[in-house]
Structure 1
Amino acid sequence: MSECGVECIASIIVVGFLWGATNPLLRYASRKQDSQMAPEENEGFAKIVSRFLRSFLNWKFSIPFAANQLGSIMFNLLVINFPVTVVVPCVNAIQFIATFIVGIAMGEQMQQSTVKQKTGMVLAMIAILGMLVIE
């Protein structure tokens, strides 16, 4: 396992941003599609498959989903090649920050407790990255 240098930090930022930025986009596309569909009491297998295919044919859902999955692949590569104790908390912190920023940009309302949690994540990430620089 190698040390977490510039390549590691850049990869952490990219993965965190891919995951975080796509969360509000996926949430928006899912809600929009759900609001357009009439609720049904009994959904058979064919109806479930139809809804599944309709989601993936909708570019507003499929493109963010593909980007999110690319982030997942990159995350697995990060965990294999760099210290888990650094990668996981930093990716999560950046993910939350990106979700917060993109969500606000899309007009989502955030609760005060959510803002405090995001601030705590940022401070934890800065502390972890600071420890890396000191070593």
Structure 2
Amino acid sequence: MNINTLLHLVGICLLWGLTNPFLKTGSAGIENVRGGGLAKLKFLLFSWKWLVPFLVNQMGAFLFYALLSAEDMTLVVPAANVLTLVVTGMTGHLLGERLTKGALLGILIMMAGVAICMYDNYRNTVINAP
């Protein structure tokens, strides 16, 4: 994984992780909307508190698929998922949500797993390269 790939990955995780808590808060009140799915969709689309984070989040999705087309999926997907979870947890914490010790331990274990995957990829592509 080169530095350009790593920067793209960090950007994706920031776009996703920073917007996830805002998507949650922006959708507050949807449970009170009467009607079916179309009424709920209208509620979300006319709520800037949900729509702006959603559009930013989708920019992250666009970058993710662009990165998948150029990099090893078995490395990019787990790394993006774990780093997004870390950023989401930190953002949620800054917005007042509580992170439990179990959640923090789980994040550390997942980060260790991704680090092992990244090391294995590095070892196979750089150290053992013909």
TM-score by length of 2: 0.83
SS at match of 1:89: helix
| Aligned: 1:49 with 2:38 | yes
Among 65, 72, 80, the residue aligned to 1:83: 72
Q: CA deviation at 1:118?
A: 0.8
In the alignment, does 2:112 pair up with 1:123? Answer: yes
Q: Which runs of 5+ in 1 are unaligned?
A: none
Q: Which residue of 1 aligns with 2:30?
A: 34
How far did 1:65 drift?
0.5
The letter of the residue matching 2:18 is A
The answer for the alignment partner of 1:12 in structure 2 is: 9
Separation in 1 of the partners of 2:43 and 2:110?
A: 36
Aligned residues: 124
| Corresponding letter in the other structure for 2:90 | I
Equivalent position of 1:60 in the other structure: 49
Q: CA RMSD in A?
A: 1.9
Deviation for aligned residue 1:87: 0.5
Aligned to 1:108: 97
After TM superposition, the score normalised by the length of structure 1 is: 0.80
Pairing 1:91-102 to 2, within 5 Å after superposition? 91-102=80-91
Structure 2, unaligned runs of 5 or more: none
* Structure-2 residue corresponding to 1:25: 22
Which structure has more relative contact order (CA 8 Å, sep 6+)? It is 1
